[in-house]
Structure 1
């Protein structure tokens, strides 16, 4: 991992309050001009980070499984949709299907995903570092900064660019 990512998780925890304030400020400005930096920062972050070394997202949070995700993944696994839901999913407080437990039941020992080719849309889009969702959801982005080194990296770089 890149030197700028040393102790990233510790630094993210320490900066969480400041990061929330920074993101809230950006959101208040409707992210004016910020979104243009995100794709480049996303590419830069992932040129330095290998998700298979971390898998923090798969180890600690669950994506939402929407109906098309459930249909696609259950078919891929050769299961009936109802059996797939009963085996792997529960409904959370937002009325979304999420995994019953962490780490994700599809995470393998080598940090690869058993259903990667048909993974849920949330997994495909995570960590949202290349889209306006990064700014639009300040609390989630701040939380994700202690889960994902790419979120921490993009947030850290964005603060230097914008401030």
Structure 2
């Protein structure tokens, strides 16, 4: 895998748009074939990518998208802020069009100027799992992965590497 560099969100959106057809064909193939070794390949690419890329240099995810916040996440975050859950929800969250709690604002209200998260130990599950390139049954999240190419340089790089393989 080539060295992964930081891209601004606008750059990643444009790069992904330029390759939309190519990525769509790849993801359609993977969804149809469900290669048995897909998880192993993606997990190896994930590990290689994160050996060379530091999320603290980027924070595109924290500054540009809002994670789904579960009830458990809200309770944990409220406790960490010494707030009642209902007060935390009222101050920080809203229900989106999919009926999920998400943060009212981006960047994330807990993202600090140095790209550290001031609630890191208590962050939502969606943040813990992002960018989801190390999860099992990767073929199930291909649509999400395609969308995440626009946000995360690592997801873009992994997808780029997948296009180079003969599926």
| TM-score between both structures, scaled by the size of structure 1 | 0.90
Aligned to 1:142, what secondary structure does the other structure show? Answer: helix
Matched, 1:109 2:113: yes
Match for residue 118 of structure 1? 122
Matched, 1:96 2:100: yes
Matched, 1:85 2:64: no
Match for residue 153 of structure 1? 157
Match for residue 145 of structure 2? 141
Alignment RMSD (CA, Å): 1.9
Match for residue 19 of structure 2? 15
CA-to-aligned-CA distance 1:74-93 (integer Å, 9 cap, x gap):
00110110110001000011
Single out whichever of 124-133 and 111-120 deviates more from structure 2.
124-133
CA-to-aligned-CA distance 1:4-61 (integer Å, 9 cap, x gap):
5476725333113321221122011124321111221111111121101110001111
Single out whichever of 12-21 and 95-104 deviates more from structure 2.
12-21
CA contact (8 A) 1:41 1:130 kept: no
Gaps of 5+ in 2: none
Counterpart CA distance in 2 for 1:132 and 1:21 is 21
Counterpart CA distance in 1 for 2:34 and 2:3 is 32
CA contact (8 A) 1:59 1:104 kept: yes
Q: How many residues align?
A: 162
Aligned to 2:165, what secondary structure does the other structure show? Answer: helix
| TM-score between both structures, scaled by the size of structure 2 | 0.88
CA contact (8 A) 1:52 1:111 kept: yes
CA contact (8 A) 1:5 1:153 kept: no
